[in-house]
Amino acid sequence: MLGDPLDSPLQLDIDTTRATIYGGQLFETYVVSRNATSLAVEEATVAYDSNLYEFVSVTPQPGFQITSQDTSTPGQLRFSLTSPGAAFNTTGETKLLKLTFRAKEQAGAGRIETTAGSGTFTSGTQIVASLGSETITVNVKTADVNLDGSVTTADLAMAAYAHGGAPLAGYARADVNKDGTVDFADLNLISQALEPTPFLNGGTGYTLDLTQSGDVSASSSHPKTQYYLPYYAFDGDVTSNYYWNAGAYVNKGWLMYDFKIPQRIGKYSLMWQTLVGFESYMPKSWTFEGYDEAQGKWMVLDTQKDKTTWLTGVRQFFDFPNSNAYKQYRINISAANHSTYVGVGEMEMYGKLDSHPELGIESVADTVTAGTAFESYIVVTNGNAMHAEDAKVSYDSSLFEFVSAVPVATGTEIVRQDTATPGQLRLTLANTGSQNAVNAGQLVKLTFQAKPGATGTGNIEVQSGTAATATGAEIAPLTSGASITVQ
């Protein structure tokens, strides 16, 4: 006979790794039992908003077996599971099932909730469980090609690479307007949605942080709260108390990042972001590894031993030689500074560049006559196969008047041009087609007019910018300019 749920301490709840996601992203939730005592069998019915989420898969957590399941009805899931053997009797707070969903391209807030559930003690007595839910908000950024939550030059570069036909494998979201072709209309939509890049800069010779849109996993995580899940080591939030914790009495393990497209990582960083006094949870000795799919094994890229100098809020960087691009990388921790726990507050990874790109200005003449037109060029050196650039150009508006900008590199298109403010230009460029990556040379011809009656020397320079490759690796290029005298 089933007991009254109001009299039962058992709860079957939902925990989520993320409260906000973006349309198209995969995300995970967990069916969790709370206040359990020696349960051998659990049954749970889960409802979800099928207008916002699509069910993808279910994975029983260690020690549990699914004995029956029904996922055929959109919006509803039913599971029966068992935890055989005395060692696996469900007690306390325990993750039972991992449910993976994909957010649909529909904005809104919805719920994933347990709507019915029960547990059976090892004695055979069955009780009804109280229930729980999580609200998950879906934001839609149709121009976010790589699903990292921001629309940046990386998205434009991926669309520029796929430009000219049906979306390539792995680049389906480059077709922003869903007309079956990646063309200028898609590039324009992305350029109009561009946001300031929020990602950490790896410095000269490296890309910006690339850990935004991949999948995260770990050897284990603490079962007592969803705030210790692997995702939080890559969430970019240095103000929260959320971090990856491998679990009670677990002071070793691995934390892995899976990129959608292989990346050549050459540097990573680690930080304990908050919680002063718990810095000893950070790793002491570890290897950083890339997975070689051809050989079927992990390749050690960097080794660190006896690292004890962790300070809250201080990021430490580690670089190493690497000539190969891998999809999967992990930190494999052999020892922590704490006897009982190991965790990582924040982790970033940066792509290695053979040489660091520069966006500069090349002028046809050093001296020009007042009242006449002259030409300068936006030029690239050490381009690293770039497919998009977003350049902010400054010029001396007391000496020069901007006239026009015309792309000159093969396949290069100006997809956005802001010229309203005297003395400032913003040009967003797409190097379209897989064969038209830019490594060096002139990109755009800029025509200026030397103002009548003006004299003096002024600068035209690329003040700042970003660039990106076909794999979505974003770069903060070096910048330079030219001095021109008007007489």
User: For the stretch 299-325, what's the b/e string if a residue is b when 16 or more beta carbons lie within 10 angstroms of its beta carbon?
Assistant: eebbebeebeebeeeebeebbeebeeb
Question: In this structure, are strands 346-352 and 265-271 parallel, antiparallel, or unpaired?
Answer: antiparallel
Q: Which amino acid is at 408?
A: V
- Rounded-to-integer distance, Cα 32 and Cα 221, Å: 14
Confidence band (pLDDT; 50, 70, 90) for 170? confident
How do residues 4-44 score in pLDDT, each as one tens digit? 444 458 899 998 878 888 888 888 899 998 887 778 899 99
Question: Are 411 and 362 within one domain?
Answer: yes
Lowest mean pLDDT among 36-40, 163-167, 343-347: 36-40
Picking from 352, 386, 420, the residue at the C-terminal end of a domain is 352
- The answer to whether residue 472 sits within a structural domain is yes
Whether 279 has a pLDDT exceeding 80, the answer reads yes
Residue 291's pLDDT is 98
Tell me what pLDDT residue 260 has: 84
Q: Look up the CATH number of the domain holding residue 431.
A: 2.60.40.680
Residue 173 CA: distances (Å) to CA of 146, 155, 250, 471? 8, 9, 40, 13
- The domain tally of the chain equals 3
Same domain, 258 and 388: no
Co-location of 221 and 298 in the same domain: yes
Residue ending a domain, choose from 336, 352, 368: 352
pLDDT, position 90: 58
Q: What is the per-residue pLDDT for 1?
A: 35
Q: Are residues 16 and 32 in the same domain?
A: yes
Query: Does 90 fall in a domain?
Result: yes
Let me know if residue 83 belongs to a domain.
Answer: yes
- What mean pLDDT comes out for the span 237-254? 91
Same domain, 410 and 316: no
For residues 233 and 300, state if they share a domain: yes
pLDDT-derived band at 288 (thresholds 50, 70, 90) equals very high
64 in a structural domain:
yes
pTM given for the model: 0.83
Phi and psi angles of residue 468, each rounded to the nearest 5 degrees, phi first: -155, 155
Mean local confidence (pLDDT), 205-217 = 92
Q: What is the DSSP letter of 220?
A: -
Backbone angles phi, psi at 249, to 5 degrees: 60, 30
State whether 344 and 381 are in the same domain: no
What is the extent of the structural domain holding 460? 358-486
Retrieve residue 91's tokens.
Answer: 């007690």
Contact between 389 and 429 under an 8 Å Cβ cutoff? The reply is yes
The pLDDT of residue 2 is 44
> 389 and 466 share a domain?
yes
* % of the chain residues with pLDDT over 70: 96
CB distance 339 to 251 below 8 Å: yes
According to DSSP, the residues that pair with 416 across neighbouring strands are: 428
Q: What is the mean pLDDT of residues 357-385?
A: 96
Is 367 in the same domain as 466? Answer: yes
Per the model's pLDDT, the better-predicted residue between 348 and 34 turns out to be: 348
Last residue of a domain, one of 320, 352, 384: 352
* Mean pLDDT score across all residues of the chain: 92
Q: Which residues pair with 458 in a beta bridge?
A: 484
pLDDT, residue 406, reads 98
